[in-house]
């Protein structure tokens, strides 16, 4: 099709609708050209040249009882919950590096939250927990960085606390390790130190919702798809960092991940 024919079709509603009704992938690829390029967000995969494309970033809130209590809720009465970060909040951190992480705008109380991250290769709705792990491609170590003062101020006013969680570079992540190499993670030490002092130190077996249960619960609310990643919640003792701090994250079975706040 030459450009003039394509423009004619695009400006002719009837023809455009007829084209859409055919609904063939090949036609979709030949459709209107994007006005400008938008970056595809990806995460490196250990041992692979191919990278993992990110569709959505889901996060689980208050998934460790001790952290739920320090955040002011009663884990025996209030279950964990979900929120999302924008896909381009990803900051990739290579194994063996100390990545510079910019201290974000607006906050004076910037917190670390070390978390296991599950990366999905497929999805669906109403996925039963006993089938959920079949959708996991691999796992990574992540940091759900949080502008705590903004989150708390919004929560106090019963407003959405998106500004506290969903900002540039707010989803720090190491490379993804395929399940075929690591197996699934249901237990194992998880910790975070700041300048060599341990701040968070727990075990994945203290998660209220396991990864399988997180997938099952999420899929009741959203259709999960390949490329979705899930930050599975943080243990207790979240706390502030300042410029110059070096954070070291550890998860039993994965390489360490480190960033420096700049």
Q: Which residues bind Mn ion (CB under 5 A)?
A: 113, 144, 234
The distance of closest approach from Cβ of residue 38 to Mn ion in the complex, given in angstroms and rounded to an integer, is 27
At 198, phi and psi to the nearest 5?
-70, 125
The distance of closest approach from Cβ of residue 234 to Mn ion in the complex, given in angstroms and rounded to an integer, is 4
Contact indicator for 251, 258 with CB cutoff of 8 Å: no
Contact indicator for 179, 104 with CB cutoff of 8 Å: no
| Smaller CB separation from Mn ion, 144 or 228 | 144
The distance of closest approach from Cβ of residue 216 to Mn ion in the complex, given in angstroms and rounded to an integer, is 19
| Smaller CB separation from Mn ion, 117 or 136 | 117
Please name the helix (run of DSSP H) or strand (run of DSSP E) that holds residue 19, with its range, or none.
helix 13-22
Contact indicator for 87, 57 with CB cutoff of 8 Å: yes
| Smaller CB separation from Mn ion, 132 or 207 | 207
Locus of tokens 């929560």? 155
Contact indicator for 44, 93 with CB cutoff of 8 Å: no
Residue nearest to Mn ion (CB): 144
The distance of closest approach from Cβ of residue 80 to Mn ion in the complex, given in angstroms and rounded to an integer, is 10
| Smaller CB separation from Mn ion, 113 or 228 | 113
């Amino acid at each position: 099709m030459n450009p003039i024919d394509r423009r004619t079709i695009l400006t002719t509603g009837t023809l455009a609708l007829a084209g859409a009704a055919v609904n063939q992938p090949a036609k979709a690829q030949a459709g209107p050209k994007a006005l400008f390029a938008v970056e595809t967000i990806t995460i490196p995969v250990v041992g692979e040249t191919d990278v993992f494309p990110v569709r959505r970033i889901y996060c689980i809130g208050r998934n460790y009882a001790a952290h739920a209590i320090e955040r002011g809720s009663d884990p025996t009465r209030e279950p964990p919950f979900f929120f999302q970060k924008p896909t381009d909040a990803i900051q990739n951190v290579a194994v063996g590096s100390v990545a510079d992480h910019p201290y974000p705008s607006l906050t004076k109380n910037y917190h670390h939250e070390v978390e296991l991250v599950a990366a999905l290769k497929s999805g669906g709705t109403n996925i039963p927990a006993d089938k959920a792990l079949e959708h996991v491609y691999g796992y990574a170590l992540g940091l759900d960085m949080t502008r705590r003062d903004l989150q708390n101020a919004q929560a106090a006013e019963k407003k959405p606390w998106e500004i506290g969680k969903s900002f540039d570079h707010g989803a720090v992540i190491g490379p993804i390790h395929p399940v075929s190499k690591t197996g699934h993670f249901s237990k194992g030490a998880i910790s975070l130190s700041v300048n060599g002092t341990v701040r968070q130190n727990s075990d994945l077996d203290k998660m209220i919702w396991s990864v399988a249960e997180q997938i099952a619960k999420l899929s009741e609310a959203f259709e999960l798809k390949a490329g979705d990643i899930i930050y599975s919640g943080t243990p207790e003792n979240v706390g502030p960092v300042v410029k110059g701090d070096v954070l070291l994250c550890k998860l039993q079975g994965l390489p360490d991940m480190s960033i420096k706040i700049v």
